[in-house]
Structure 1
């Protein structure tokens, strides 16, 4: 369907690709297409399975760059029975109406009216995971990143979060002869959300694969001195390095919100939402995923839960019913270590730590790509 099929239909607009599909698909199934038009807007013409990004930018394993079988999947089958509209475009502003609803402004000058709006534009990731928004530039970018890692003999990752841990694991599996080091200013890897015994287990897992971890320290410079092949930490430790990759600096993709909705952002730039996941002060606008201010570790699977609550709340709001509130699930984290390794934690009972067999079965082998493509209709 297109916007011109029936101009009197009421637009339910979702901005943002990967997580946006988790709201667009059920809404296209539940809502009467003669009355409502479910619209998904994304800057790229395909969805990027960000969970697979660490392997996609480091290795040719699994051909994850493929739109036919990999972690890039077109939107042409995302709507139930084709009952929706996809628009490839970039949102530059929101003009809410006082009585509800409003208009979205696109970069190409087009205006899209909405009755209900969902924001799911996530975060801007640093370095190798900063996948271009221009669809034509995505595959060249992936090739450049792979070549960069292939050429580097000694790789240093700055930061001790999941991105650093998983990138390090992929690079080491790509070529075990490479020197791979993680430098983290904290006393342990990850955050204090997780128990020390799990954080220690992650470090042990890395050490078992030949990945060095330097804690309580950082580098003097992010530039490797010409011809030296080493860098020095502030504590004086010398580390082999031909490539330095900072993995911190993730920022919410909310510039268009800041310029449009007064008071909608926190001091750190995240979207403030109510427990119903409605944007504070804007009952016709919902937000989800990494871009929202919420007390939980930001993860894709939580974003999918946000989408489920939002889809149900949109249906309820349109039919005059009460809205449900989002409640965070128990924390869980499965870290891949290449396709055959990994370690995880599930905050149930006493706190369950799982090893390589579980990580391999659950996510490490194909990174959920088959599930992702099935969800996209492939």
Structure 2
């Protein structure tokens, strides 16, 4: 908080897709004589996760450099700054009156510098190259895309996806689409094992994998978890027991204001919005939240409301194959040409760079 008469601080925690879009929007709207705009992120750069599978499999496309994006030009007219650190909690002075964020610095679980990112990527490329039978644990979008990228580079390696459900993806999507993408994955000579769970991920160098039911994949020599991480909401839970729902997601109003906490807004993966967590939805999240943040700062009612998004998913299975689903009309399924045109080629990295002023 700033003292009376001084500039007020507007703090955004997290510089991923949603946070970066919100920071850029607010930097063009906030009066720099009245407000300090501060973006706090764990790394001094953003990672374009849609390119993660491809850049850890091969050097093609130069994604190691293009998908690791600096924040240098994020703020319009330089109206904002980045602080590198991890937020561990929020302390409110009084509801609607602001407070403090508490930072923790130090080593993180994921690569923290560009050099560490380079080493991490090179490590995984070596692991994939050396392996004979790669097992991917998780049959969601990440697992499918990783399998496709591997098949492009290694046409003869054995690749297996182990999925806990009885089909790929999750029940948000209709059976016809889940079966369509299974057919396309099998056409790339990728094996699938359904309705199997694993209790642990063996270390590299350990041969074989045994599932909870006792099924064995004895030739597996590289086991890779490809299920998505849970959103980190522990830090915002410090506001009180009313902040999170039973799934540990942040309860938000249609304005994206945190329930019972005026002046605190949440967008992106951490929200309890009834939708799949996808970057393509977060442009709308940021637009709605930015309008309401400006209203809050100016003492006006927050009237802009989020009405949800149509479920859309585009999954490349390598650079030239893939499947897409649009939850409109009867549910539209599109194939290779559409995914290749819209996503498979550059994995939306160029548009994402433009969104960050690069």
SS of aligned partner of 2:179 = helix
Hey, what does 2:55 align to over in structure 1?
56
Query: How many residue pairs get matched?
Result: 351
Which structure has more strand as a fraction of its residues? 1
Task: Give the drift of 1:342.
Answer: 1.0
Task: Give the drift of 1:10.
Answer: 1.5
8 Å contact from structure 2 (residues 57, 124) kept in 1: yes
SS of aligned partner of 1:160 = coil
CA distance in 2, matches of 1:275, 1:239: 50
CA distance in 1, matches of 2:123, 2:155: 21
8 Å contact from structure 1 (residues 288, 303) kept in 2: yes
8 Å contact from structure 2 (residues 204, 223) kept in 1: no
SS of aligned partner of 2:235 = helix
8 Å contact from structure 1 (residues 154, 241) kept in 2: yes
- CA deviation map 1:262-317 (0-9, x unaligned): 42122332222122111122111111111122211111112332112111111222
SS of aligned partner of 1:241 = coil
Q: Is 2:350 aligned against 1:374?
A: no
8 Å contact from structure 2 (residues 204, 221) kept in 1: no
Q: Unaligned regions of 5+ residues in structure 2, if any? A: none
RMSD: 2.5
CA distance in 1, matches of 2:133, 2:82: 43
Q: Is 2:7 aligned against 1:9?
A: yes
Alignment of 1:297-308 (within 5 A): 297-308=276-287
Hey, what does 1:127 align to over in structure 2?
none
Task: Give the drift of 1:176.
Answer: 0.9
CA distance in 1, matches of 2:216, 2:288: 49
SS of aligned partner of 1:285 = coil
Hey, what does 1:29 align to over in structure 2?
28
Hey, what does 1:317 align to over in structure 2?
296
Task: Give the drift of 1:188.
Answer: 1.1
- CA deviation map 1:97-152 (0-9, x unaligned): 1152111122259xxxxxxxxxxxxxx9xxxxx74345553222222122211211
Hey, what does 2:182 align to over in structure 1?
203
Hey, what does 2:334 align to over in structure 1?
354
TM-score calculated relative to the size of structure 1: 0.86
SS of aligned partner of 2:57 = coil
Task: Give the drift of 1:344.
Answer: 0.6
Hey, what does 1:118 align to over in structure 2?
none
8 Å contact from structure 1 (residues 224, 241) kept in 2: no
Q: Structure 1 residues 88 and 146 mapped into 2: Cα distance closer, same or farther (>3 Å)?
A: same
8 Å contact from structure 1 (residues 43, 134) kept in 2: no
Task: Give the drift of 1:199.
Answer: 0.4
Hey, what does 2:119 align to over in structure 1?
140
Q: Is 2:68 aligned against 1:72?
A: yes
Q: Structure 1 residues 315 and 141 mapped into 2: Cα distance closer, same or farther (>3 Å)?
A: same
Hey, what does 2:99 align to over in structure 1?
102
TM-score calculated relative to the size of structure 2: 0.90
Hey, what does 2:37 align to over in structure 1?
38
Residue 153 of structure 2: which of 174, 198, 202 is its match?
Answer: 174
Hey, what does 1:120 align to over in structure 2?
none
Hey, what does 1:277 align to over in structure 2?
256
Q: Is 2:230 aligned against 1:251?
A: yes
Q: Structure 1 residues 340 and 28 mapped into 2: Cα distance closer, same or farther (>3 Å)?
A: same
Task: Give the drift of 1:15.
Answer: 0.9
CA distance in 1, matches of 2:355, 2:48: 11
CA distance in 1, matches of 2:355, 2:68: 12
SS of aligned partner of 1:64 = helix
Task: Give the drift of 1:236.
Answer: 3.9
